[in-house]
Amino acid sequence: MKELIQKLVETTGPSGHENRVRELITKEISACSKDVKVDALGNLIARIGEKKPGGLRILLSAHMDEIGVIATHIDENGFIRFTTIGGVRAANCIGGRVEFLQGARGMIYMEKRENAGQGPCIDQRYIDCGFTGKANCPVQVGDMAVFERPFMDLGKRLVAKAFDDRIGVAVQIEVMKQLKQTPHEIFFVFSTQEEVGLRGATTSAYGIDPELGLSIDVTLTGDTPKSIKMAVSLGKGPAIKIRDGGMLSDPRLVQKLIKTADKNNIPYQLEVLEGGTTDAKAIQLTRAGVPAGCLSIPCRYVHSPSEMVDIDDVENAVKLILAFLSEPIKL
């Protein structure tokens, strides 16, 4: 699975321009489903299974897009001003490397600040791709770039950019590959534009009109020095989300996931996240409402160019979702 994960995180796919990730996923799942389509906002939707007694119409969602930056101005000396796509923080920019969709590569730095103690605001940051003027700069206003950082295999722990949410995508692909039998009709959605407002999930959920929704995304951890207070740690199992900044998971779904984990001896944690949300929020409020929840992969340093996950958590997430989907569900 590490090979698949590496391929996914090293692909460029900022919000709104997920096509390269989608092409990679399409190849990976080609043997899994005959009913695959791409909708108006670029969501990749693959259907597996027919609804049988005890079965539900289920939507699973992992988002293909990653955070990035977008060029706003090329100055006369070839430096590129930018704004952010999704939650890119100043502290994670300085010295970081970027790769534009159109191929140019470079790094981010900042102007000298009056008050060096304060982080640089967006106007004080710029990208340097080594161009010397507007004329020889192939980057144009509106071009998008993502962090560039190669995948790092530390054995049990993995480090890369865009584990949010390529790790969720990887889990979803593995579930599709390993799913043997299910009483459910399952729509595997690889969604777009989550980082800028859950937009792909909003429209794909409307189209699918599911009876149950589950998103697979990353969550933060409380296990690093002076971190936020959170009862989730790397290596202690996938996290069953109870609540985040945008959603209260359906408690019946939470209980069902807990029961399934206990029955199959799969480690898990319970997650209460103060800030941030996932596709599940949008799914929950679709049409007349959908029971929704989320299974999270614990992840350190989310939205930095070097996020970290534990491979055991990832594999246990696959196991848990497979077990969950293989049995009837009665809410």
In three-state secondary structure terms, 163 is helix
Binders of other proteins among residues 181 to 200 (CB under 8 A) are: 192-193, 196, 199-200
The verdict on whether 114 is a catalytic residue reads no
In three-state secondary structure terms, 215 is strand
Radius of gyration, alpha carbons of the chain: 20
Binders of other proteins among residues 109 to 128 (CB under 8 A) are: 123
Which residue, 53 or 142, has its beta carbon nearer to other proteins?
142
Compute the half-sphere exposure of residue 187: CA atoms within 13 Å on the CB side of its CA: 24
70 lines the binding site for other proteins (CB under 8 A): yes
Helices (H), strands (E): how many in the chain?
7, 17
Catalytic member of 194, 195, 271, 307: 194
36 lines the binding site for other proteins (CB under 8 A): no
Which residue, 85 or 167, has its beta carbon nearer to other proteins?
85
The single residue among 5, 21, 22, 212 that binds other proteins, judged by CB under 8 A, is 22
The single residue among 38, 107, 242, 258 that binds other proteins, judged by CB under 8 A, is 38
278 lines the binding site for other proteins (CB under 8 A): no
The single residue among 85, 104, 175, 273 that binds other proteins, judged by CB under 8 A, is 85
161 lines the binding site for other proteins (CB under 8 A): no
Which residue, 164 or 194, has its beta carbon nearer to other proteins?
194
Give the interface size with other proteins as a residue count (CB under 8 A): 35
The single residue among 2, 20, 121, 206 that binds other proteins, judged by CB under 8 A, is 206
- Residues of this chain that interact with other proteins (CB under 8 A) are 15-17, 19, 22, 38-43, 70-73, 75-76, 81, 83-85, 123, 140-142, 192-193, 196, 199-200, 202-204, 206-207
